[in-house]
Structure formats: C-alpha cells, structure tokens
Structure 1
C-alpha cells in the first residue's frame, strides 16, 4: 500500500484524503466547475455518482500503486454498497483542480 501522505501529486493526494475523510466540501473544492468523470468507461453524472458511490456509502480508497507522476493509481476501493474491489483511477489535473477522473474495475 502507498500511504496517502506519500502520493506524488498534491491534488490527487487531496482527492484521496477528501474521499477517505468523507469531506464533501473539500472534495468539491478540488474539482473544476465543469469536471466530468467515467465509471467503467461510461460517462456518469458526477454529483449523482459521488453521492451514491462515495459520500452516502462511506467510500474509502487504499492506494496500491501509482503511476503517471501520481495522476493514476490502482487501489482497493470499498463502500457500504459494493464492498471491496480493485479499481484503477486516472486524473486530469489543471493547476490545483481536477477537471476529469476516470475509474473502473482493475
């Protein structure tokens, strides 16, 4: 496992911290106003997906390995709906904001 505080990209690190502490305000502050995302290759409504998959179901990310300068990682993700699964995440970062993330089963 890679400790959250050791993740290379500071914006992605803040994303993981916000998810793991269930800090929705901090999470939303990291996103550009027009941020988008996919889950298993399908475009999703970001607000609906994050509420359903992260915040109302106590989502948690344990990073297993990172790549692309910290803007991609493989993780064990768990929430109260689906349990635990191996997932891959990729981020598009502009400055200190995330404009897109893609996730899915790894």
Structure 2
C-alpha cells in the first residue's frame, strides 16, 4: 500500500516528490534552496550531479510507503532505469518552504 503523493503531510516534501516523479528538473530545483545539500547511504554527494544521474537521466520515481516526523521522513519504493527498485528512506530538512537538505539510502 502506498501513500498518494497529494496526501503527504508536508507541503514542501509533497512538492519535491511531485517534481521528482514528473521528472521535472525545473520544479525540483525550485523547491530546493540554492545551497541545498544531500547524502546517499551516509556519504555527501554533489546534489546536481546525483539528481541528474539518479533521477533525471534514469527516470527516478518514488512510491511512498509511509511517512513519519510530520512528513519529513519517508520510506519509499524508489526505482530508476539504472538500479531497478529498492526500499529507501528519505529524511528532509525544510527551511522557509524549501528543502535545504535531504538524506537518502536503502531502508
């Protein structure tokens, strides 16, 4: 069972997931702060390079399974053309209506 994106509790996280699933690069970068950072499996990565490789080029998609922490922590089945499907955890830091950091990795 998945959580419909339009039912996600945090509006900024909802915008992030909506843009990611639509493969909408402009909308995704609009929901990020200019100096946003991220990590994957505990290692900081170059945000733009990671999004290009793991989301845009490989058509990434999140099916949210659950949310906690007022919608700032998600467990999702994430899939893309490079890695297939895997259960992932996403933790978002939201400041002023924008994502300033997200951490993802296998759940």
Q: TM-score range by the shorter chain?
A: over 0.9
Name the counterpart of 2:86. 85
Name the counterpart of 1:39. 40
Q: Which runs of 4+ in 1 moved over 6 A?
A: none
User: In 2, Cα distance between the equivalents of 1:22 and 1:96?
Assistant: 20
Match of 1:27, SS state, is helix
Name the counterpart of 2:14. 13
TM-score in terms of structure 1 length = 0.99
User: In 1, Cα distance between the equivalents of 2:95 and 2:45?
Assistant: 21
Q: What are the ranges of 5 or more consecutive residues in structure 2 without an aligned counterpart?
A: none
Q: What are the ranges of 5 or more consecutive residues in structure 1 without an aligned counterpart?
A: none
Cα RMSD after superposing both structures: 0.4
User: In 2, Cα distance between the equivalents of 1:65 and 1:95?
Assistant: 24
User: In 2, Cα distance between the equivalents of 1:15 and 1:62?
Assistant: 13
User: In 2, Cα distance between the equivalents of 1:97 and 1:14?
Assistant: 9
